Structure 1
Amino acid sequence: MSTLEKVEKIDRRIVYLVLIVVVAAILLRPIGLPIPISSSTKKYYEAINSLPSGSVIALGVDFDAGALPELGPMLEATLKQLFASDKKFVIFSLWGGGPAVSTIYLNKLKDLIESSGKKYGEDYVLLPYIAGGETAAAALAKDFKNTVKNDYYGTPVDQIPLLKNLNTANDFALLITITAGTPGVEEYLRQWVSPFGIKFNVGALGVSAPNYMPYYTSGQIYGMIQGLRGAAEYELLVGSPSIAVSSMDALSAGHIVTIVFILLGNAVFLLRKYSRKEVKS
């Protein structure tokens, strides 16, 4: 059997094995391929950075464990930027799994929180799940601190210094939602952005981002992180490359391996075809 015949008859399982090995190796040891930063990700980052010292941000963690692979890196990088800044923030959720997801990353960033000097109750607060979808979003916008009685850990809201002066959406400098769907972007647009004119940042799944682009281009959404690629861009802006950046490296490497095998297969096919013609002639 000739070399061309051997290449042509490579077991497809070998192709899959090569792909798995390359992707796994890049995930373990990222190579740092360049990633251009989109304007929507830049604006998301700048919306937080440009706020005056002491500004309070409303951070909606509106997803559950099913969206962790794509939205988790966005939330982690957002928390890193917030804890490294002089801003204050309140974490809440219109999704049942949101508070549990938030605690995962607050625990993961425990060392960063301690080194930042930020104090729970004064600089940041975690609220429990707020049921009701759009009704809950409207209630929070109109009467924030009275919509919930306790924080996630059971402390009454009137005993939490940060919440004492947060009455309506007007008391927040920025609204952020990192969302996997509904309730999410549209509900906040109707209940927070349109009535109160609050600046609005969005972190969205890659498949959902195109649906939100009309709101972004019209200015209703100020900054937007679009999928895992956007999360990788944001990690670079925050100065803390992590799983999203390494995932982009792995994805690019996987594409390169696939293209190489496609080119190799076509080259072998053409060479075999040419050699058969020569034999016939």
Structure 2
Amino acid sequence: MLILAGTPIGRPDDASPRLRELLADVDVVAAEDTRRLKRLADDLGVQVRGRVVSYFEGNERGRTPELVEMLEAGSTVLLVTDAGMPSVSDPGYRLVDAALAAGVDVTAVPGPSAVLTALALSGLPVDRFSFEGFAPRKQGERHRVLTALADERRTMVFFESPHRTRATLAAMAETLGPDRPAALCRELTKTHEEVVRDRLGALVEWVDAQEHGVRGEVTLVVSGAPERVADLGPDALRSLVRDAEAEGLSRKDAIARVVERTGIRKRVVYDAAHS
């Protein structure tokens, strides 16, 4: 049997009792980083008695057939990654696919998830969401992917490395709009956990204001595109802005509210309000 096990995303004591038992009992543990596995086992007070092999992006193509042979020979293989559930932006899919093709049973031991934790803390709608993984590193490809998501109605979740967070947020502000609500979640479940909830443009400014930049593991949660209101001309938009101003909002905030509620570009609403 192949067992996929979720590992803690921060605090070791979030590990499930089943994970502790399996680490001590299975025949083989395939780990994304064997050093992190040893550290986790030490933190949990568990002695890993089975064979430990590495299974990461650089060797999964070659190691998968070896693990399938072990499974077919009757071994129980536990697959763990550095944090969270295998296959979710981590190694795992290739082995699951090969194991199923070989007729091997596959199951999972649930565990902490950065995706679900960030969604729950974001303050954004979570009834429907999409997981987009890591945005492309290259600027042109990143812009193309984010532009294709501009009309996505579901809340979106992204992983990002600390040193690329600023560039990704800036690209999101450009393609999705600076007023799109979002949450930057870092170091989830750890001592220095922080969730910053604001609009994309403001989050870029927040990152710029950090003396030492963004640190730790980052998960970005971005609101889906608002429902667009069709056939709203300049007169209708101007009226909506004036209604918001009548409630006591400034012109800037009134325009921002109309943009959020209609999904119409800020420049269009601005021009209508000042015409």
Q: TM-score higher than 0.5 here?
A: no
Q: Which structure has the highest strand share of the two? A: 2
Q: Which has the higher contact order (CA 8 A, sep 6+)?
A: 1
TM-score of the pair, normalised by structure 1: 0.30
TM-score of the pair, normalised by structure 2: 0.31
Q: Which structure has the highest helix share of the two? A: 1
